[in-house]
Each structure stands twice: as C-alpha cells, then as structure tokens.
Structure 1
Amino acid sequence: MSKVIEGIGMTSRRTRMRLVSRLQEAGIESARVLEVIGQVPRHIFLDEALSHRAYEDTSLPIGHGQTLSQPYIVARMTELLLAHEPEHVLELGTGSGYQTAVLSRLFPKIYSVERIRPLQERARERLRKLDIRNVMLKHADGGMGWPDRGPFDGIIVTAAPSDVPGELLDQLADGGVLIAPVGEEKQVLVEVIRRGDSFERRELEPVNFVPLLAGVIR
C-alpha cells in the first residue's frame, strides 16, 4: 500500500494533511485515527469528476442514492470503535470502500456487507489497488449482519436504521461495541456496549446518514 500512497504526489499529501488539521480542530483526538486519515487517499474512492473535492470535510455522492461520509464522521466513528480495541469488526454498508480502507489499517479483520452490487464491485477493486488483504466483502442485506462470521467485538453501521436491529445486537460479542446512526427525520450517533444479556446505550451527537434499507438488495 505504501507504494500506492507514495505515488499520489506531494499536492495530495499536503491536502490530506490540511484535512487532518481540520479534524483535530473539530475534536478528533486519536493520533492513530488521524494518522490513517492522512494516509488513505480519499480521492480514489470517488468518481473522477468529484475527486478534486475529496479532501473537503463534507459528504459526497457515490451513485445509487448513496454518499461517501464526511471525513469527520468517518474519523469520529472509527475513534469510538478504536477505544474498545476490537479485533473482529463488522461494517454494514461498504459503500465506496473508504471507511473500509480506514478500518483495515486499524483492526486485524474486517467483514463488510453491501446491498448494492455495483458499489461493492467498485469498492473491491479500490481495496485491491491499495493491496488491502484483511477485508472480506459480502453482497447482502446489511440489516441482517453476517451471522456466519459472528459474534463480532465491534460493529459499525454506515446507514441509519430507525432503531438498532435486534439481529445486530444478537451478533455482538459480550463486551463488544456497536457504533451506529439511529433515527429517521432526526438522527443521532449511538454507542451500544453488550454486557451479558443487557446492552448499555449512549447517545452522542446529531448526524445525517442515508437510511438503512433492510430487505433491499440490488
């Protein structure tokens, strides 16, 4: 992966470092997360027409009614997950593959589910170009998780259900953490930690995600 990043050019490198500085100013504290944000080339996860906006702290369209999340949100959710040091991580909503690439630098094994096949195929190719080998992809309904590979000690959801699906809570290991946007008209980022048969839930901050469409596979 280092050869790919070295070949991107100093302009992109400086632009990524400016993004890292903005994320620090916005409250991202994890040095490990900031380092990875500075390394992963966000522009390759966008169509060429939008690549010049890749290092703005904003969400951007990736087609099929989906978006590439705002870098702050990617960093924030990753930072929350990293605080619990999970090793077996489930991502629901591969999308462009950018969040997946960030996660791959921080956790040993990533299982990522995407319901829209063209997005998954493009994400697979981008991850391959970056020589990322610790990610397993699946084309399926994200709301159902990936029960055959669970339980997971970390789950990150990149689209908003009206509430956390029970199927995902069932796949969360004891002591594991789930990070997800929840809600319809008003969404909030939540952290759920499993303690045996009970779940501790904490609401963190307002967010704005595309909805999680359970049962819809394309």
Structure 2
Amino acid sequence: MSSNSESVQSDDNFISARQTMIEQHLRQREITDPRVLEAIARVPREQFVPPESQRFAYNDCALPIDCHQTISQPYTVAFMCAAAQLTGNEVVLEIGTGSGYGAAVLSLLAREVHTIERIPALASQAAERLQRLGYDNVHVYTEDGTLGLTQAAPFDAIIVTASSEELPEPYQVQLSEGGRIIIPLGSESTGQRMYRFTLNNGKLSEEVLGAFVFVPLIGKYGHPSDHPE
C-alpha cells in the first residue's frame, strides 16, 4: 500500500513537472499548435529515460539513454512536430527512433508512424516500450534510415532527427504530393539549420526554420565521413 501511494504521488509530480515544462519552455518559445501541446502533455517522458534520469525528465534538455545516444529535448521534439503541420490522418516516417519518445508524440498527431533506428538494441527497447505504453500505431524498424522505407511509402511527412549535408534522395521520392520533410541540414563546422521541404506539383520548395544542433545522420546518404563500417 505504501509503495502504491508513493507511485501515485510520483506520477502526480511528473504530471505537474510536465505541465510546467509546457508552459515555461514550449509556450514561451512560441510552440502554439494546440494539438502538439496536447500530445506533449499526454506522453510520459519519464518512461523514455533511464531510472536515474527520471527526475530530470521535464528539464528542457537532451538526456542520455542506452548505447551512448540521447533523447532530444522536448522543445526540439515539439518544434519538429509543429513544423510537420500534422492534422491527424497522415502516415509519417521518423528517422532516428532512439528511446521512442518522438514516435510516441507523433503517434498522437498522425494516423500511423513508421520509425527507423539503426542500432538494434535501441530499436528493440523502443518497440517494447511503445507497445507496453499502448502506442499501437507505431511500427519500429532496424534499417539504414537514410534509405527511407520503400515498403511503407509514400509518406505525408518525414521527420529526420539527425543532420545531413544535403537532403537524401530517397526521402524526396518517398514523399506524397503535399507532403513535408523536416530535416536539419549542415555540419558542426558550417552550422546547422532546420528545413521544411514541401512537395507541390512534383516540385520541392524549401523553408529555413532556424538554427539547431543535431548529431550527424549516419548511413549511405548521410554525412560522407560518418558511413557505418
């Protein structure tokens, strides 16, 4: 009984911290899409980080996860989701599953989410976690994410959580008419900026959305110096 009581209290604390994070770090930084804010409010980020990091789950920062990787800061996840302009009926491809947190948020914003993780152990953990938490419209794959996912294309939105020097060609051919690609482009030396590419009448238009810092996109169409062995 004592353990259950402590668990409920802990959950209440996380809910309060989550709402504070939304008000102080998302709304104040111009994340205003009500669907995105609602999705962030519903996803328990503390479930996507190691136990020793749970007390930091609602700090607006990246946190370490297994395999020497990180979970993105909530602002970055919210920004990319808002930039994708999802209405609820889309099929989305996410590149870089990590802990599964971003996919969980996307699952509340789109009809179906396909997410690719290149590290098998992380992909397995994320798939188990997402299933356990009830995100049944998320499908996890262990692949080279720079190749996209031909078998599930076309996609209404493609969200890439690592930076490339240029837009990988497979994403362009796997995008549906009217679809959006959200991706950081650039390098640490030249600087990285978030881009939104939109396919209209068979042609891609691009918008620069701001400066960000991401790890390199690894794979056949990723950074030339970061191809996997």
TM-score (norm 1): 0.92
Partner AA of 2:202 in structure 1:
D
Larger displacement relative to structure 2 (37-46 or 84-93): 84-93
In the TM superposition, residue 36 of structure 1 has moved relative to its aligned partner by: 1.3
Q: What is the alpha-carbon distance in structure 1 between the residues aligned to residue 84 and residue 29 of structure 2? A: 18
Comparing 39-48 with 6-15, which one deviates more in the overlay?
6-15
Distance 1:163 1:81 in 2: 19
Query: Structure with the greater relative contact order (CA < 8 A, sep ≥ 6): 1 or 2?
Result: 1
Structure 1 unaligned runs (5+)? 1-5
Q: State the partner residue of 1:205.
A: 210
Cα separation, 1, equivalents of 2:19 and 2:13: 10
Partner of 2:104: 101
* One-letter amino acid of the counterpart of residue 164, structure 1: L
1:121 aligns with 2:124: yes
Runs of 4+ in 1 over 3 A off after TM superposition: 83-86, 215-218
Summarize the Cα distance change of 1:128–1:58 in structure 2 as closer, same or farther, 3 Å threshold.
Answer: same
Aligned partner of 1:190 in structure 2 is 195
* 1:189 counterpart letter in structure 2: M
**Deviation string, structure 1 residues 131-187 (Cα, Å, up to 9, x no partner):** 111011111000000011101111101111111101111111111101011111111
Q: Percent identity?
A: 37
Range that drifts further, 81-90 or 171-180:
81-90
> What SS does structure 1 have at the residue aligned with 2:84?
helix
2:155 touches 2:174 (CA, 8 Å); kept in 1?
A: yes
Aligned mates of 1:84, 1:175 — CA distance in 2 = 13
Q: Describe the superposition over 1:80-119 as per-residue Cα deviations: whole angstroms up to 9, x where unpaired.
A: 1135666111111111100000000111111111100111
Secondary structure of the 1:128 match is helix
Cα displacement string for residues 171-207 of structure 1 (whole angstroms, at most 9, x for unaligned residues):
1111110101111111110000012332101111000
1:170 equivalenced with 2:173 (yes/no): yes
Moved more, 75-84 or 174-183: 75-84
Tell me the C-alpha RMSD between the 2 structures.
1.7
2:72 equivalent among 52, 61, 69: 69
Q: Secondary structure at the match of 2:65?
A: strand
In structure 1, what is the Cα distance between the partners aligned to 2:125 and 2:89? 27
Counterpart CA distance in 2 for 1:71 and 1:86 is 23
* Aligned equivalent of 2:12: 10
Give the equivalent residue in structure 2 for 1:3: none
Look at both structures and tell me which one has the larger radius of gyration over its CA atoms: 2
1:21 equivalent among 20, 23, 29 = 23
Q: Are the equivalent residues in 1 in contact too, given 2:183–2:195 (CA < 8 A)?
A: yes
Paired residues in the alignment total 213
- In structure 2, stretches of 5+ residues that fail to align are 1-6, 221-226
CA distance in 2, matches of 1:210, 1:199: 25
